Structure formats: C-alpha cells, structure tokens
C-alpha cells in the first residue's frame, strides 16, 4: 500500500468544518444524516471522502469519484462491533497522525477509517454509532420510518396457510374471516388451538398435527416440552405419508425418569399410516441435533432427550452440532482469517507484503499446509459440513425408508430450524424455486419462531402479561449455560432490548450467525447441484444483506406473536417484494436467476452422499470485501451470463423485428386486398359501360327506326362512358338524370317519300303492309321491324331513367 502522504496532504482543513454535506442525492427514502465528517480516509483502499452516519447506515462517499464506496457503507444493524483501539499489523508512515476507527460487520467485512488528528471527528462518529447502532426501542429502526406502500407486505398468516394447503393438495386464494379455512385428510389436520398463542407463545397460530390427536392432548403434551414447543408437522409427503416434524427437548429430568403419555401418543401419531391408531406404524427416527454430552448435561436442568423404549418403533440419533456460542466464535475466526490473508486487509496492507513476505496464509512458504490448517482452525467449514450431513441423513430416511423423523435440539428454534428447513429443501423441489424458498423461510424460520431479534442483537417487544421468567430463561439456555447470563428485566415498560428486557451483555451473548450458516449450507448444495436451483448465489447474498440491514419488517422480533403485536406487516416493507422488484428489472437475465437451472433434471429429492458434502469457502459472501476480484462468479459463469444477456438482447431484437415484419405483411395483405377490390370495381364498371353502350346503340337504332333522330348531350363535361355509367348505374344515388339532355326529332315524310332514305325505298319495294296511301306505321305493322331487329334485346326500362321534356319534340 502507498504510505498515504499524498492523500493527506491534499486535504484542506476547511473541509472539516463545512456545514453542508451535499449527500442528498445518495440518501434513501426517509434517510437523514445525523453527523458527517469530511477528510476521512478509508484505510482499506487509502481513499479519502465524506463519512456520514444516518438513521440507517454508515455512509462513505469518495471525494474523487463522488460515488458511494460500497466497502465503507454498511447498515447500522449489520455492524457487530466498533472500536477505536486499533493495532495495525503493518504500520505505514505518518500513521501516528491518524486517529483510527475500526468497524466489524456481521457480513464478514472489517473496515478501518482514519480521521484527521485533533479534530474530534472520531469521537463525534463514535458517539453517534453507539447511540444508533443498537436502538433502545424497536420502532427506532429505519424499517419503521419508511413508507411501507412501496414494498407492501402481504398477510404472513395467509402465506403460511397457503403452504399448509399445498401439503393437502389444495389451494387457498384469500383468508376467510372465520375458521372455515381449517381442513384435514385421513392422516393430518389443521388446528387453531394456538390462535391466541396460549398453547405455545413462539409457535404460529395454526398448526398441522396428526388427525388422531385431540386438542386436549396437545395441551397436555405442551407441559412436557421446553418452551411448550410440542412435536408438530413441518413437512409431509402426501404419497408415502412420512412426515418431518419438529419440537423442543422433552423434560425428562435427571435419570430420564419423567414421562408424558400425551406426548408419547402425539409422537406415535407422527408415524401412523392413517388416523386409525391401531393401523400399522412406520419407523420413527428422533434426531437430537446436539452432541450427546450436551443432551445429558441438560438432564440436570430438567431437559434431556427421549428414551427409545418409551416411543414405539423409534430410534434416537445424535448429530453433534454445537451451540450458538461456538458458531459465533467460529465465524469471528473466519472473518479474521479472511481479513488477514485477503488481497487487501483492513489496515490497507496486502497479505503478500505482510511480514516481509516470509509467510503466506499463516504458515511458512515452504509448507503450504499452514494456510489450510489456519482455515481449518476457524472450524466454520466443519460446522457447515455437520449441518449438511445431518440434513442429508434426515432426507434420506424419509425418501428411502418412508420413515418419519422428529427433530429437536434444546429449544427447537436454532439447530432444529436449520436441519428441518435444509432437509425440506433436499426433499421438495418446490423449495428450490424463488416462491418455494420464500415459503420455506416464512414457515420454518419466521412462523416457528427463530429468535431473529436475539440473534441479530436488535430490540423487540415483550408482552409482560404472557412472557414468564421461565420462558425468558429458556431463551438464554439456547445452548449453553443459562446461569452464565442472568436476566435483568426493565420495569414499567413493555418495550425491551434483546428478548424480554435483557441487558447489553446478554444481548451480545445471544448474537449468533445461525441464519447465515444455513444460507451457507444452501450455497454448498447449489454448488453441488447447479441445475437444481432456480436462484443463484447472488440472490442468497442479497437476501442475507437485506436481512442483516433490518430495512424490512419480515425478520424483526423473535416470533410471529411479537410481530403481530408490533403490527410489523402493516407498518414495514416486505423483503420478498423488494427482491422480486430487483429481479423484475433485469428479467430472466438478472443475476438472481441461475443460468443452469433445469427442473427436469431434479424433479424429486436430492440425496447427496456423505463423501460429496465437503464444503468450501463461499466466495461471493466470505471473500467479497477482502478479495473482491476473487469473490466474483467464476470466469465460465461470467462468460455464460454475458453470452446469455447478449442472446436475450438479440432475442428481443428479433422479436421486435418479427413483430414489425408481421405488421408490414399485414399491411401489404390489406393493401393487396384493397387493390383487388378496386380491380373488381374497375372491371365491373367497365362491363357496365360496355353494356350501357351496347344498349344505348340499340335504343338509338330503335328510335331511328321510328323515323326519329336522337341527340344526347350533357350539361357537364362527362365522357360518354361516364354518362352511360351514371345513367344506368345500379345505385340510384349515382344517377343524375338532370345532367342528360336528349333531343328526338321526327324525320320529315317528304324525305322518306322522296326516296332520300334508303330504308324508304326498301319499304316501297318490299314491305307487304304498305298501301297506295303510303306507310301506315306505327298504326299498322312494319316489315322492317319484324325482320331487321328480330332477336334484339334492349333494356327498354332505361327509358324510364331518361328525362325527356315535351319541348324537345317539334310540332
């Protein structure tokens, strides 16, 4: 890294006291700047800019590019720790002039800011961060200050019921006001016994249970389970009838001496083939996620695990997954390892140049195994593998043996949630789609009460009338020694810090990356089966970022009851609508879509063998801050996505061209049809003109044979063909009789007698009807008319269309 002298020398002291921050264009809706400081350097990249603390995030804007620097911009709730006691492994020149502030994020980032000395900049930023990073009240969070209409939240209960209906092979379009939505079949039934959250405060209001078990038995069984979390159905196979159920540990007590017959009947109902209790039962596996030593240790505190002798045709299996405290420390070591050995660490020094280049990855260059052992020492990949192996084992028992499986840990809301949701993902291809992933998270993580507020260290609401000290104590023992974290309640308020009014130390002790670890497991499956998932690794990253930011209301509070009490769905936006809108912008070429998705290749369960479950670091999440170039998708995937984008653009252009071609073809056909009609009209008009001309000649000759002369003229300049067409048109509106003048004059008899007319001479010599008094026609017959015009067909009706005035005839 450069020593940074140039960066500091160009900073002007006047920038420090500039009252206007000029950050308006970078702010989100309802985001306000609380404090901002100029002349701050992001030590990771040695870049100067403006550092601001808003009511939503820590915002860093580059002074050179005038753009937000993503590395230095982090939501307040994503910050895990801030410290001004920063010890740089590599001390750059002039570092003694800098006041340092280090920010450690839950999303694997470690960033260090350097402030100008003797300006109180660092103190001002530290004070604001301490106040707003962990608000006292729930509605101080940014999620409550946004307009929820942009990402309007649908009814969480309706989403859960839709998933239940899918189990029963039915569909639910809307939520009735009464309880008419309750359905059942010959094996299972829905029950609203927990509608007021009296059966179990951390369970959803609607449950699916065996049909053979009554609500009274459910109440009796609740007292035998920690936090009253009774065995209920989380997923079921409609074909085989096998179920995946979840619960908390039983209260068997020391020496496993306690029993509860209602609980035993409830568990037995999970493996019945039908509602008939006497019907044959399938095999039941009771999976305890904890190490066996931890389960035995809980016996002393009244907990423990089931005895297979008390549950018919059952087998108890321990998976050995560690508790939340071990996971928290493991992720912390992984974050430190990645920051230390990344391309550029939080102190701005390349890992290749650290310690003079004598070591790499924590070991000597002569022994490359040193880096692997350091990564292995974090334990993270081992924990991920344990969760994956446990879920794969559960899925195989259900898919291959048609057995039922009941999963629990201590309280049934951490390791149990991981295993049940991951096994469901392996069993049901629906959960490997966007809609299915949402339904899975809504059901197993939100509805069944994973304590997000506790695990993320944010405040929640507590109903003191229903939250007993026993329930709060069980929250603390999630997975370790409850006595090590005594509760300190806040009197006179229904609002509390993390879970039930615990103090700051307790809230920090309950923070753990349980959801992050589960999403990491999903990524490992996506890596193994790239054609089985509709969504991509980038979708999982954006999903985690949105959850950790607390920008939306879905993952606030600890359970459905608390979210309903706070009115979360009405006043906060929905994360699923936000992610859906992101995908809608880019269409199928958006980076959330998996380019290799082919549902026909994995239409059934995915059952990975144990040898294949060897997890790796998740580059897009674990390495994106310390190794940004390596964190991007593989070169092959990047090229594929680029080609797919170009293909999509080409396809759209082709569709547009095809559409235009179809329009031109349609217009051409229309013009051809019009031309054809015009030709038909022209041919028809020409035939009419010819017909009229022939009739006109025949009439003229007929009139002339009467000894009359016919003259036709028009008042307007029309051709004879136009005149005939107009006069004899079939359409009366086209006729203009007043435009036609017809004059008929009689030929003088003298001309006839004198023999001026050749016809007269013919008549004199040949006409048998002529007398000595001359021609008597028209009073008598005419031999000429009877011979010359025999067979003449004339339209004599045309005379009716002629307007002949009397004045045209001479006296």
- Contact yes or no for 182/168 (Cβ under 8 A): no
- What is the C-alpha to C-alpha distance for residues 329 and 324, in angstroms, rounded to an integer? 9
Instruction: Find out whether 301 is annotated in a ligand binding site.
Output: yes
Q: For residue 142, which of 232, 272, 214, 34 has the smallest C-alpha distance? A: 34
What does the block give as tokens for 133?
Answer: 């990073």
Instruction: Find out whether 233 is annotated in a ligand binding site.
Output: no
Buried b / exposed e across 337-370, counting CB within 10 Å, b at 16+? Answer: bbbbbbebbbbbbebeebeeeeebbbeeeeeeeb
- What is the C-alpha to C-alpha distance for residues 768 and 783, in angstroms, rounded to an integer? 7
- What is the C-alpha to C-alpha distance for residues 672 and 678, in angstroms, rounded to an integer? 10
- Contact yes or no for 777/767 (Cβ under 8 A): no
Cis peptide leading into residue 778 (ω within 30°): yes
Helices 324-340, 514-528: axis angle to 10 degrees equals 70
Secondary structure letter of residue 445 according to DSSP: I
Q: For residue 625, which of 48, 74, 36 has the smallest C-alpha distance? A: 74
Instruction: Find out whether 215 is annotated in a ligand binding site.
Output: no
Q: For residue 46, which of 63, 22, 59 has the smallest C-alpha distance? A: 63
Instruction: Find out whether 415 is annotated in a ligand binding site.
Output: yes
Sequence-distant (6+) residues with CB within 8 A of 548 are 75, 77, 78, 106, 107, 456
Catalytic residue, from 146, 409, 557, 572: name it: 409
- What is the C-alpha to C-alpha distance for residues 125 and 794, in angstroms, rounded to an integer? 111
Q: What is the largest CA-CA distance in the chain?
A: 159
Q: Is 409 a catalytic residue?
A: yes
Burial class of residue 307 in the structure, from the number of CB atoms within 10 Å of its CB (0-12 exposed, 13-18 middle, 19+ buried): middle
- Contact yes or no for 157/175 (Cβ under 8 A): yes
Helix residue ranges, H only, 106-245: 121-132, 156-167, 215-222
Instruction: Find out whether 413 is annotated in a ligand binding site.
Output: yes
- What is the C-alpha to C-alpha distance for residues 58 and 45, in angstroms, rounded to an integer? 17
- Contact yes or no for 231/267 (Cβ under 8 A): yes
Instruction: Find out whether 324 is annotated in a ligand binding site.
Output: yes
Give just the sign of the alpha carbon dihedral 247, 248, 254, 255. positive
Report the C-alpha dihedral over residues 425, 426, 432, 435, rounded to 10 degrees.
-30
Q: How far is CA 385 from the centre of its chain?
A: 29
Sequence-distant (6+) residues with CB within 8 A of 754 are none
Instruction: Find out whether 409 is annotated in a ligand binding site.
Output: yes
- Pairing type for strands 284-288 and 74-75 reads unpaired
Q: For residue 770, which of 759, 758, 783 has the smallest C-alpha distance? A: 783
SS3 for 316?
strand
Helices 369-378, 324-340: axis angle to 10 degrees equals 150
**Residues annotated as binding site?**
298-301, 323-324, 409-415
What are the residue numbers of the active site?
409
Q: Which residues are annotated as a binding site for substrate?
A: 298-301, 323-324, 409-415
């Amino acid at each position: 890294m450069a020593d940074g002298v140039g960066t500091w020398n160009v900073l002007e002291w006047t920038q420090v006291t500039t009252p206007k921050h000029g950050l308006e264009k970078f702010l989100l809706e309802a985001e306000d700047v609380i404090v901002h400081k100029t002349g701050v350097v992001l030590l990771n990249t040695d870049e100067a800019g403006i550092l601001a603390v808003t009511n939503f995030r820590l915002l860093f804007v580059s002074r050179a590019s005038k753009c937000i620097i993503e590395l230095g911009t982090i939501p307040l709730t994503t910050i895990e720790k801030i410290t001004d006691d920063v010890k740089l492994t590599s001390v750059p020149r002039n570092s003694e002039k800098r006041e340092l502030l280090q920010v450690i994020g839950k999303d694997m980032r470690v960033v260090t800011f350097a402030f100008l000395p003797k300006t109180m900049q660092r103190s001002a930023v530290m004070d604001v961060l301490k106040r707003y990073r962990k608000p006292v009240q729930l509605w101080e969070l940014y999620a409550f200050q946004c307009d929820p209409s942009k990402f309007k939240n649908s009814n969480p209960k309706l989403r859960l019921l839709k998933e239940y209906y899918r189990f029963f092979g039915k569909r639910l379009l809307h939520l009735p006001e009464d309880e008419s939505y309750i359905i059942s079949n010959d094996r299972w039934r829905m029950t609203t016994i927990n509608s007021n959250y009296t059966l179990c405060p951390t369970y959803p209001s609607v449950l699916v249970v065996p049909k053979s078990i009554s609500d009274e038995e459910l109440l009796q069984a609740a007292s035998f389970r920690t936090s009253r979390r009774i065995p209920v159905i989380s997923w079921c196979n409609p074909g085989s009838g096998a179920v995946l159920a979840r619960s908390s540990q039983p209260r068997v007590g020391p020496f496993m001496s306690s029993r509860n017959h209602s609980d035993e009947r409830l568990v037995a109902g999970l493996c019945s083939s039908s509602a008939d209790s006497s019907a044959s039962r399938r095999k039941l596996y009771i999976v305890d996620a904890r190490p066996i030593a931890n389960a035995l240790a809980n016996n002393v505190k009244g907990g423990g695990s089931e005895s297979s002798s008390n549950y018919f045709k059952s087998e108890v299996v321990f998976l050995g997954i560690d508790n939340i405290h071990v996971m928290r420390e493991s992720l912390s070591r992984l974050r430190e390892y990645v920051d230390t050995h990344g391309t550029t660490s939080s102190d701005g020094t390349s890992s290749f140049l650290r310690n003079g280049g004598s070591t790499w990855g924590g070991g000597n260059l002569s022994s490359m195994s040193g880096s692997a052992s350091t990564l292995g020492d974090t334990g993270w990949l081992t924990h991920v593998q344990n969760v994956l192996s446990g879920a794969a084992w559960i899925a195989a028992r259900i898919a291959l043996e048609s057995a039922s499986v009941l999963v629990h840990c201590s309280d049934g809301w951490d390791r149990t949630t991981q295993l049940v949701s991951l096994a469901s993902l392996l069993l049901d291809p629906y959960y490997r789609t966007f809609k299915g992933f949402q339904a899975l998270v809504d059901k197993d993580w939100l509805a069944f009460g994973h304590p997000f507020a506790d695990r993320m260290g944010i405040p929640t609401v507590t109903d003191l009338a229903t939250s007993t000290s026993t329930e709060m104590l069980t929250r603390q023992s999630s997975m370790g020694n409850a006595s090590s974290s005594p509760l300190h309640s806040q009197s006179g308020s229904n609002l509390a810090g993390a879970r039930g009014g615990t103090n700051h130390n307790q809230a920090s002790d309950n923070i753990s990356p349980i959801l992050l670890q589960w999403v990491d497991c999903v990524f490992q499956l996506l890596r193994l089966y790239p054609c089985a998932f509709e969504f991509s690794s980038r979708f999982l990253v954006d999903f985690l970022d949105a959850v950790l930011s607390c920008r939306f209301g879905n993952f606030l509070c600890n359970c459905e009851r608390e979210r309903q009490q706070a009115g979360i769905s009405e006043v906060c936006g929905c994360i699923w609508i936000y992610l859906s809108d992101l995908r809608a912008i880019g269409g199928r070429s958006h980076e959330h879509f998996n380019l290799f998705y082919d549902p026909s290749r994995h239409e059934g369960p995915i059952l990975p063998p144990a040898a294949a479950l060897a997890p790796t670091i998740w580059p897009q999440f674990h390495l994106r801050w310390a190794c940004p170039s390596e964190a991007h998708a593989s070169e092959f995937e990047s090229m594929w996505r680029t080609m797919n984008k170009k293909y999509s653009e080409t396809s759209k252009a082709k569709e547009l061209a095809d559409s235009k071609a179809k329009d031109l073809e349609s217009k051409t056909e229309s013009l051809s049809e019009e031309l054809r009609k015009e030709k038909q009209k022209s041919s028809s008009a020409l035939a009419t003109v010819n017909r009229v001309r022939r009739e006109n000649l025949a009439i003229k000759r007929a009139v002339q044979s009467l000894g009359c002369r016919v003259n036709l003229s028009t008042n307007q300049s029309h051709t004879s063909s136009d005149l005939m067409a107009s006069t004899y048109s079939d359409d009366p509106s086209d006729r203009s009789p007043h435009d036609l003048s017809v004059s008929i004059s009689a030929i003088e008899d003298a001309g006839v007698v004198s023999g001026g007319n050749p016809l007269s001479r013919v008549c004199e010599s040949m006409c048998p009807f002529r007398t000595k008094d001359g021609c008597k026609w028209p009073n008598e017959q005419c031999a000429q008319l009877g011979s010359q015009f025999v067979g003449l067909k004339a339209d004599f009706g045309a005379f009716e269309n002629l307007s002949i005035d009397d004045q045209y005839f001479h006296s």
